[in-house]
């Protein structure tokens, strides 16, 4: 395959497409469609055959979720990794692309949420509302400027430096032979992120109780003491096993809805 490098025009296209990250948000894989859409210019530039492009596009349809403002930085790293794969497909492990994405999205979301939802938006809204309440037209204007100037700067610079950092890092790791170590670390972090999401975002509890020595004991209280988040873990393992058996996501979703309604009516969950 002919070696290809990404130019400024291609990265600029990724930048503009990144604004559509949540345009097709879904509850199965969150922002994956928007991420794949933003990566299309990169894939068209790097790969020459339809099969190569299809395989690359499929890689970016996996689960992804982070603060939209910082997503271009991760896209830049992904672009650098796709470029490395296009240059040396025989020695590059394509699974590392999604492993690095999974490792980066949670820390990036923590920083992005704190900066944009918890800081810039609050400060901009406070100043804007203060002026607007006095009838000053600068209120909404300042709100948009104070929020969007850092927002656009982080998007643009994040993509630029994410790509540059990814390219330089990959070259150094290839020379030092440390890609396997990085892959192992990325996989561990990715699994930790998934485990944390199961424990914090999946809220499954049971109201069941039983009597003991004249007192009523809540089963959920016992579970929380012995094995916190056991029910969410069991539900996740069950769904994972169904997916491994090639059960369609639509059937699993409908089954979960039906089971949830039934178990709630029976006062089990």
Contact 183, 247 (CB under 8 A): no
Of all residues in the chain, the percent with pLDDT exceeding 90 is 19
pLDDT in tens, 16-35: 999 999 989 988 788 999 99
pLDDT in tens, 49-95: 899 999 999 999 988 888 899 899 899 999 988 998 888 888 788 88
- For the ranges 20-29, 67-76, 149-158, 192-201, which has the lowest average pLDDT? 192-201
Rounded average pLDDT over 232-250: 84
- What is the distance between the terminal CA atoms of the chain, rounded to a whole angstrom? 56
pTM > 0.85: yes or no: no
Among 197, 219, 244, which residue terminates a domain?
197
Q: For residues 117 and 181, state if they share a domain.
A: yes
pLDDT tops 60 at residue 175? no
Q: For residues 212 and 80, state if they share a domain.
A: no
Contact 53, 140 (CB under 8 A): no
Q: For residues 46 and 139, state if they share a domain.
A: yes
226 Cβ contact list (under 8 Å, min separation 6)? none
Q: What is the pLDDT of residue 172?
A: 60
Q: Does a structural domain hold residue 3?
A: no
Determine the structural domain holding residue 222 and report its residue range. 202-265
Rounded-to-10 torsion of CA 31, 32, 38, 42: 150
Q: Does a structural domain hold residue 253?
A: yes
Q: Does a structural domain hold residue 1?
A: no
216-244 as b/e, with b when 16 or more CB fall inside 10 Å? eeeebeeeeeeeebebbbebbeebeebee
* Domain count across the chain: 2
Among 152, 170, 197, which residue terminates a domain?
197
- Candidate ranges 14-18, 238-242, 256-260, 264-268; pick with highest mean pLDDT: 14-18
Q: For residues 105 and 169, state if they share a domain.
A: yes
Q: What is the pLDDT of residue 15?
A: 94
Q: For residues 165 and 208, state if they share a domain.
A: no
Q: For residues 232 and 163, state if they share a domain.
A: no
CA dist 161 and 135 (Å) reads 41
């Amino acid at each position: 395959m002919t070696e290809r490098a990404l130019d400024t025009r291609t990265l600029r296209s990724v930048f503009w497409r990144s604004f559509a990250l949540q345009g097709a948000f879904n509850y199965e894989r969150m922002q994956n469609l928007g991420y794949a859409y933003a990566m299309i210019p990169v894939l068209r530039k790097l790969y020459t055959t339809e099969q190569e492009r299809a395989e690359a596009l499929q890689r970016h349809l996996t689960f992804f979720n982070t603060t939209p403002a910082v997503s271009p930085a991760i896209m830049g790293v992904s672009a650098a990794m796709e470029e490395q794969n296009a240059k040396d497909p025989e020695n590059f492990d394509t699974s590392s692309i999604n492993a690095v994405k999974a490792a980066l999205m949670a820390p990036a979301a923590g920083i992005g949420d704190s900066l944009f939802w918890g800081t810039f938006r609050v400060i901009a809204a406070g100043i804007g509302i203060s002026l607007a309440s006095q009838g000053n037209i600068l209120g909404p204007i300042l709100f948009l400027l104070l929020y969007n100037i850092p927002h656009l700067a982080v998007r643009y610079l994040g993509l630029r430096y994410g790509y540059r950092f990814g390219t330089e890092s990959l070259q150094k790791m290839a020379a030092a032979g440390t890609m396997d170590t990085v892959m192992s670390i990325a996989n561990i972090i990715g699994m930790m992120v998934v485990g944390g999401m199961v424990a914090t975002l999946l809220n499954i509890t049971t109201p069941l109780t039983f009597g003991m020595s004249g007192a009523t004991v809540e089963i959920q209280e016992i579970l929380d003491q012995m094995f916190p988040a056991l029910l969410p873990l069991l539900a996740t393992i069950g769904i994972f096993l169904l997916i491994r058996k090639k059960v369609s996501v639509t059937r699993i979703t409908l089954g979960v809805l039906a089971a949830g309604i039934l178990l709630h009516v029976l006062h089990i969950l």
